[in-house]
Structure 1
């Protein structure tokens, strides 16, 4: 058999994981019941509607306690303005933010989280025409467009 402390730790971990699964299944059951009621209500107003045809919506990402609302978008735009037309990697912006926040840029988990948040923000700004993406994959870089597509959106970001 195994060492008693190893077996005890494995049993404890299994109990923890199975407890999480039980709680998630309970929450799923509640959401499924709510969905059934919503579908029935929709059918009252639109009898020929197939509720399954409504695509599911991805839940919003968890907010970061490191950044205030809109702070990361401002940081990205400021970094691109300072670059004066030079292309900038998302990692550069993330590392600068880590340093500004007094965090260790060598902490892989936090660095990865910051990079992903910067990429998500830049992608959102790209969709608004506020920034341009140059390249693909790990080599992708970002810059401000020579002429913003939507002057009103550009002005809001200033």
Structure 2
């Protein structure tokens, strides 16, 4: 029950993934060489340096939809134009429309919602916006937001 078109497509995908693995392994090898060279240089300045002190830094991955600082700015604009509190869901939907984002599925929609909620929480910590309550619903309900 061999289906040549399926086998061909899977073979192509496998070859693509193997190519990515080779590419990333080569990149990792170059990075490792760079770290070794830095270590050797550091030892020239401090022969007793303890490399266990230096932890790795996480890499911040940006989202493909917004420039840095754009989400809080857009949220402040939307909340400033509104005379009533706005839900996190409404803010997310408005951002999706404003930016013309094609939402592929529920996971991507949730990711955008978390992005908006995270921005609102940071803005609330800075006393730019405040939560004025919740609308009951699934998952504990939806928060309402307004300017501080």
Calculate the TM-score normalised by the size of structure 1.
Answer: 0.65
Q: How does 1:8-157 map to 2 (within 5 A)?
A: 8-64=8-64, 66-81=65-80, 86=85, 88-89=87-88, 91-103=89-101, 107-108=104-105, 110-125=108-123, 128=126, 130=128, 139=141, 141=143, 143=145
- How far apart, CA to CA, are the structure 1 residues paired with 2:49 and 2:125? 31
Contact kept in structure 1, 2:76 and 2:147, CA below 8 Å? no
1:84 deviates by 7.0
Alpha carbons of structure 1 residues 85 and 46: separation in structure 2 relative to 1, 3 Å: farther
1:27 deviates by 0.7
5+ long unaligned stretches in structure 2: none
Calculate the TM-score normalised by the size of structure 2.
Answer: 0.68
Alpha carbons of structure 1 residues 75 and 63: separation in structure 2 relative to 1, 3 Å: same
Contact kept in structure 2, 1:131 and 1:145, CA below 8 Å? yes
Task: Give the match for residue 150 of structure 1.
Answer: none
**Relative to structure 2, which stretch is displaced further, 21-30 or 38-47?**
38-47
Contact kept in structure 2, 1:88 and 1:143, CA below 8 Å? yes
- How far apart, CA to CA, are the structure 1 residues paired with 2:130 and 2:41? 43
Give the structure with the higher percent strand: 2
**Residue deviations 1:61-103, cap 9 Å, x none?**
1353x434422111233345556794742x3322111112234
1:55 deviates by 1.8
**Residue deviations 1:102-149, cap 9 Å, x none?**
345x642653443243244345445656556789x8757475686xxx
5+ long unaligned stretches in structure 1: 147-158
**How many residues were matched structurally?**
142
- How far apart, CA to CA, are the structure 2 residues paired with 1:56 and 1:27? 17
